[in-house]
């Protein structure tokens, strides 16, 4: 039976991945900080007949990251799919003297992604099969502060990883969602009324589209026709225009929060 390890698995896109994979018959390793929520999620999937392991981990803690990496490299219980989803909004200004928020964002959404992808990639190439999904964002195509910079890194890193994995039987894909109705945006202070209704996506539909792209061998997945069109414009528009639009969006929210 195939097994997937999902970080940030108790809410939002991570929980949607877990639900979708459980429906498709996958066993799960769920990673998140809240042990009670992990156990609640695990109980629901076990009731469906899935084998579920729970790993409580704070990916800002390098010792916890190392524990998750060790699980990914456990040859006795192989992981067939890694979903690096853990993340959070970054409200801190780039000019902030207090770098604590930026440091935590780097640890969780950059360093942990690289460490866990590396661990999974080494284990998977040894077996000649496996898949890695790193959750980026369409925010990485615009310029809304630290979060945009981090998510741009996720996409470029994943594309480079896909190059290294070419011919090994292992694939890597960057998922670039737009605004998705999840707790993530509630924590970011982005309400449904603050953005046009047409831009909001359903998490389960997003994940179904992402899994289809993964099966097709896509390296970058941008679910929904509307976001594909918007990102096409973002890739070809003058950067000065992208910066002006990004500033307007940031000013509208009053901070450099994420999408």
Each residue's pLDDT tens digit, 104-113 = 999 999 999 9
The whole-number average pLDDT for the span 236-240 is 76
In a domain, 189, yes or no: yes
| Residue 258 within a domain | no
Report yes or no on 36 lying in a domain: yes
Residue 259 located in a structural domain: no
Helix (H) or strand (E) holding 221: strand 220-221
Q: What is the pTM of this model?
A: 0.87
Give me the number of domains the chain comprises: 1
Look at residue 145 in the predicted model and tell me its pLDDT. Answer: 86
Q: Is residue 197 part of a domain?
A: yes
- What is the rounded CA–CA span in Å between residue 240 and residue 9? 37
pLDDT tens sequence across 127-164: 999 999 999 998 888 777 899 999 999 999 999 999 99
For the domain that residue 84 is a member of, what is the CATH number? Answer: 3.40.50.720
Domain that residue 150 falls in: 3-253
In a domain, 137, yes or no: yes
Taking alpha carbons only, the member of 155, 197, 166 closest to residue 179 is 197
Q: Closest Cα to residue 79, out of 35, 41, 38, 26?
A: 26
Is 67 a member of any domain?
A: yes
45 is catalytic: no
């Amino acid at each position: 039976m195939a097994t997937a390890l999902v970080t940030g698995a108790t809410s939002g896109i991570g929980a949607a991945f877990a639900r979708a994979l459980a429906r498709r018959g996958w066993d799960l390793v769920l990673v998140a900080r809240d042990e009670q929520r992990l156990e609640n999620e695990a109980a629901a999937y076990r009731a469906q007949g899935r084998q579920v392991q729970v790993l409580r981990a704070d990916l800002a803690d390098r010792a916890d990251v190392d524990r998750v990496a060790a699980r990914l490299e456990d040859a006795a219980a192989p992981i067939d799919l890694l979903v690096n989803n853990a993340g959070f909004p970054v409200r801190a200004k780039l000019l902030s003297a207090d770098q604590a928020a930026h440091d935590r964002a780097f640890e969780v959404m950059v360093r942990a992604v690289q460490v866990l992808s590396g661990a999974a990639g080494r284990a998977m190439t040894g077996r000649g099969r496996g898949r890695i999904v790193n959750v980026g964002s369409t925010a990485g195509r615009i310029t809304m502060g630290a979060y945009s910079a981090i998510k741009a890194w996720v996409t470029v890193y994943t594309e480079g990883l896909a190059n290294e994995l070419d011919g090994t039987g292992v694939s890597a894909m960057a998922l670039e969602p737009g605004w998705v109705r999840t707790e993530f945006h509630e924590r970011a202070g982005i309400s449904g009324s603050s953005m046009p209704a047409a831009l909001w996506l359903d998490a389960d539909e997003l994940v179904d589209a992402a899994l289809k792209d993964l099966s097709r061998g896509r390296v970058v997945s941008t679910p929904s026709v509307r976001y594909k069109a918007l990102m096409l414009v973002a890739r070809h528009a003058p950067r000065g225009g992208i910066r002006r639009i990004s500033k307007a969006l940031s000013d509208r929210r009053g901070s450099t929060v994420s999408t």
